[in-house]
Structure 1
Amino acid sequence: MDVRVREMTEHDCPSVAEIRVRGWQFAYADLIPRSYLDAMDVTKDTARCGERFARGDPAVVGLVAERDGAIVGWASFGPYRDSDLPPTDTELYALYVHPEHIGTGAGRALMAEVLARCAASGVRRLLLWVLKENARARRFYARAGFGPDGAEEQFAVEGVPVPEVRYARTLP
């Protein structure tokens, strides 16, 4: 079963919201308070996705991975959110695969397309933030050529500190 990656459309918002919510609930089950994850709502996330899509930012790219006509993964990237970095730096905001499709190549296909598009548009460095304790994601990014660049941040979810590390990859 081949994976096809394409540009996200507004009609993809329900599937992307499902992937995002289920992805968080799976990936962060032991890292973020369960009450927060249980409160995540696909319907509300679909509405937020639709609002973001309607606002549209031509600098932000959304991609979906399909297998047999069903959306199984989603990625989004664009300008790095911290303005003190060069404009040739880009941020991978999200890359999620539905938990039922982890390990099937959908994540690798999305990453390959993100890297190809970034390289073709002159991006020199791709950055992302990953939860410090998310070993599975850190292994995935390491296999894709990313590594920690020394930057760390912490945010709180329901008062619980959640540390993140920044990963970077230089592009040709």
Structure 2
Amino acid sequence: MAIAAVRAATSADVEEIVRIQADTWAAAYASLVPATAIEQLRGAEARAAWSGAIGAGAGHVLLAIEGDWTVGFAAAAVAGEPSGPDAWGEIGTLLVEPRWGRRGHGGRLLATAAHALQQAGAIYGLAWIPEADEASRRFYARAGWEPDGTVRAFDTGAGTLREVRMTGSLDLKLTT
């Protein structure tokens, strides 16, 4: 059995992050967002954004690894004043390629990101999930996170994408 782990992303990982995000969105969200929006995830702007996120040091970009393969990633950052009353840590994205699903990679990414956010002063966690993405909503629910009733909507050019905000504790533990 291959060893699975989570590690911090480096600038050398940008191409894999771009590939995973675009491929996973193409598989999971093709019915929710136009193909042109998904294709933009493969472009130079996406590469520059991920390079900037990794280089900024203000957030945490993590990779899930199994053996020699990069199988997923997460990006998280403190979304309020650290250790203040609004000390929220946001999981900006957490994706595992569908072919690597159900092997614990998502849970390892979430627990590692939650720990990093706590170390940065966040107390609570939040993530915005497409309302129609039942699998991701169930994933966060298994971690004890719940929809808090807040919804936001984006014009995709081909309709509206609604997202629900899931919130919960950052005090997550890996279970084996």
Q: Secondary structure at the match of 1:42?
A: coil
Work out whether residues 6 and 64 of structure 2, in 8 Å CA contact, stay in contact via their aligned partners in 1: yes
Aligned residue number for residue 7 of structure 1: 8
The two structures have a TM-score, normalised by structure 2, of 0.84
Aligned residue number for residue 42 of structure 2: 42
Q: Deviation per CA, 1:91-144: give whole Å up to 9, x if none.
A: 110101122212222111111211222334442101110001111111111111
Q: Deviation per CA, 1:53-85: give whole Å up to 9, x if none.
A: 4xx332211100111122111001002279xx9
Distance 1:41 1:137 in 2: 20
The two structures have a TM-score, normalised by structure 1, of 0.86
Work out whether residues 154 and 163 of structure 1, in 8 Å CA contact, stay in contact via their aligned partners in 2: yes
2:67 equivalent to 1:72: no
Q: Secondary structure at the match of 1:145?
A: coil
- 1:106-121 pair list within 5 angstroms: 106-121=105-120
Question: Which residue type is aligned with residue 118 of structure 1?
Answer: L
> Which is worse superposed, 25-34 or 13-22?
25-34
List structure 1 runs of 4+ shifted beyond 6 angstroms: none
Quote the offset at 1:5 in angstroms: 0.4
Work out whether residues 3 and 109 of structure 1, in 8 Å CA contact, stay in contact via their aligned partners in 2: no
Aligned residue number for residue 90 of structure 1: 89
Distance 2:112 2:71 in 1: 15
Quote the offset at 1:145 in angstroms: 1.3
Aligned residue number for residue 61 of structure 2: 62
Aligned residue number for residue 155 of structure 1: 154
Quote the offset at 1:146 in angstroms: 0.8
Runs (5+) with no aligned partner, structure 1: none
Distance 1:120 1:40 in 2: 33
> Which is worse superposed, 139-148 or 98-107?
98-107
Distance 1:13 1:146, change over 3 A: same
Q: What is the CA RMSD across the aligned residues, in angstroms? A: 2.2
> Which is worse superposed, 28-37 or 124-133?
28-37
- Paired residues, number: 167
